[in-house]
Amino acid sequence: DTEVTQTPKHLVMGMTNKKSLKCEQHMGHRAMYWYKQKAKKPPELMFVYSYEKLSINESVPSRFSPECPNSSLLNLHLHALQPEDSALYLCASSQDPRSQETQYFGPGTRLLVL
Amino acid sequence: GQNIDQPTEMTATEGAIVQINCTYQTSGFNGLFWYQQHAGEAPTFLSYNVLDGLEEKGRFSSFLSRSKGYSYLLLKELQMKDSASYLCAVRANDYKLSFGAGTTVTVRA
């Protein structure tokens, strides 16, 4: 099973809303990632969790707040977003950050901020 | 920082062969990945190279030359379903994955 699941698939939110994106994997992977992808652009790394600890934050604004409750789950809490934050948010996982294994991507959450 | 270049678009005919080149300049090197991404979907893993040479996987092959900072993805016997964006991604010394802008391949009947 090489599946990473993400919910919801689509999300529309206002700039004053608080919402959360969820990601789950049951492959025993110890590294999990959040990426942001705008249309016709490559994915851009936001956060990396390694063994449930935040190891990389790519200078992401504080209106994005990641959380890793356990080794299978990764959340991204959203608050006071801007319209330019509208994008596809991809979760990925890998064996661990230093493994030669590839990252497996979830289907993404398509976010629209109004 | 990382610098990864690949062509923006390529068009080919069904049954043909297409080669997508990728050049890179990175802070160290810990592997190069190719992903396929259909519109509106997540990237899916195609191939991985960490040593020089050719890796073959069915209709898809990937080549790496570390000294030249160069890779290519070869798609053989093209099918309509191969129409997608192909992303070259390099893992540097910090183990972060940096993606190229992607090459949109259009397969025509």
pLDDT 10s digits, A29-53? 999 999 999 988 899 999 999 999 9
Rounded average pLDDT over B47-70 = 95
What is the model's pLDDT at position A100? 67
The answer to whether the beta carbons of residues B6 and B69 sit under 8 Å apart is no
Nearest-Cα residue of chain B relative to residue A41: B101
Q: Are the Cβ atoms of A56 and B96 closer than 8 angstroms?
A: yes
Mean pLDDT of chain B: 93
pLDDT band for position A98 (50/70/90)?
Answer: confident
How far is residue B45 CA from its own chain's centroid? Answer: 10
Q: Which residues from chain A sit within 8 angstroms of residue B41, using beta carbons?
A: 107-108
Q: Are the Cβ atoms of B97 and A103 closer than 8 angstroms?
A: yes
pLDDT band for position A2 (50/70/90)?
Answer: low
pLDDT band for position B40 (50/70/90)?
Answer: confident
Residues in chain A: 114
The answer to whether the beta carbons of residues B45 and B30 sit under 8 Å apart is no
Percent of chain B with pLDDT over 90: 81
**Min Cα separation B43/chain A (Å):** 6
